[in-house]
């Protein structure tokens, strides 16, 4: 085991700065649910959660919707246990979204490269509509131009964990958003 990985194992997450509290998250997810329900009124929505990070956000968001929805997942990865994106996106799914109203649910938009890749892939299936809902969007210069219709919170360029977001598969269970940097 390297010194870097053993150092990460001893991080006291409770001593880290809370960027967004669990109450703030709950309130904003309720607002997003109302907005999305109004925008898709009278239509069935297909929520596509991006694993692993978006699973908690997607579950809470789905419970706030007042419209019929179906839930499915795809897996995308570009971090490979690092704090910065590798720039190479690995994508796995077996979705059929032809002529469906699709909302991709993502935990965080930082460089935008992963979402750009996901959108290009899903667009090939000819959905009726294809939009993005992200819990967090980082303010990063030169971000890939990805149209995110619904954003929970805009944040500075910080490395964050909690509420599904992780570092090396740790801290997803933390009920708020905390900063590791």
pLDDT in tens, 137-168: 999 888 888 999 999 999 999 999 999 999 98
pLDDT confidence of residue 64? 98
- Which of 110, 142, 157, 181 is the catalytic position? 110
Predicted confidence (pLDDT) per residue in 2-45, tens digit: 444 444 456 788 778 999 999 999 999 999 999 999 999 999 99
Tokens 């210069």 belong to which residue? Answer: 141
- Asked: is 14-35+45-77+90-179 a CATH 3.40.50.2020 domain? The reply is yes
Q: Is 81 a catalytic residue?
A: no
pTM equals 0.86
Going by pLDDT thresholds of 50, 70 and 90, the confidence category of residue 1 is very low
Report how far residue 170's alpha carbon sits from residue 72's, in angstroms, rounded to the nearest whole number: 23
Going by pLDDT thresholds of 50, 70 and 90, the confidence category of residue 82 is low
| Cis peptide bond prior to 52, omega within 30° of 0 | yes
- Going from N- to C-terminal start, the domains of the chain cover 14-35+45-77+90-179
**Tens-place pLDDT, residues 95-127:** 999 999 999 999 999 988 989 999 999 999 999
Higher pLDDT, 79 or 163: 163
Dihedral sign from CA coordinates of 66, 174, 80, 136: positive
Give the Cα separation of 119 and 143 in Å (integer). 15
Residue 84 pLDDT > 70, yes or no? no
Phi and psi based region of residue 163 (left: phi greater than 0; alpha: psi -120 to 50; beta: remaining): left
Are the C-beta atoms of 176 and 17 separated by less than 8 Å?
A: no
């Amino acid at each position: 085991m390297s010194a870097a990985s053993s150092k990460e194992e001893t991080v006291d997450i409770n001593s880290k700065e809370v960027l967004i509290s669990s109450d703030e998250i709950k309130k904003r997810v309720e607002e997003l649910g109302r907005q999305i329900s109004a925008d898709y009124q009278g239509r069935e929505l297909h929520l596509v959660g991006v694993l692993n990070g978006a699973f908690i956000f997607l579950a809470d968001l789905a419970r706030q919707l007042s419209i019929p929805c179906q839930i499915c997942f795809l897996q995308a990865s570009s971090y490979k246990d690092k704090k910065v994106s590798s720039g190479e996106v690995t994508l796995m799914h077996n979705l059929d979204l032809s002529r469906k109203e699709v909302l991709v649910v993502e935990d965080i938009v930082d460089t935008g490269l992963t979402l750009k890749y996901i959108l290009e892939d899903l667009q090939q299936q000819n959905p009726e509509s294809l939009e993005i809902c992200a819990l967090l969007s980082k303010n990063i210069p030169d971000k890939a131009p990805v149209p995110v219709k619904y954003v929970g919170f805009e944040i500075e360029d910080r490395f964050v964990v909690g509420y599904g977001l992780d570092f090396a598969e740790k801290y997803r269970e933390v009920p708020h958003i905390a900063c590791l940097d």
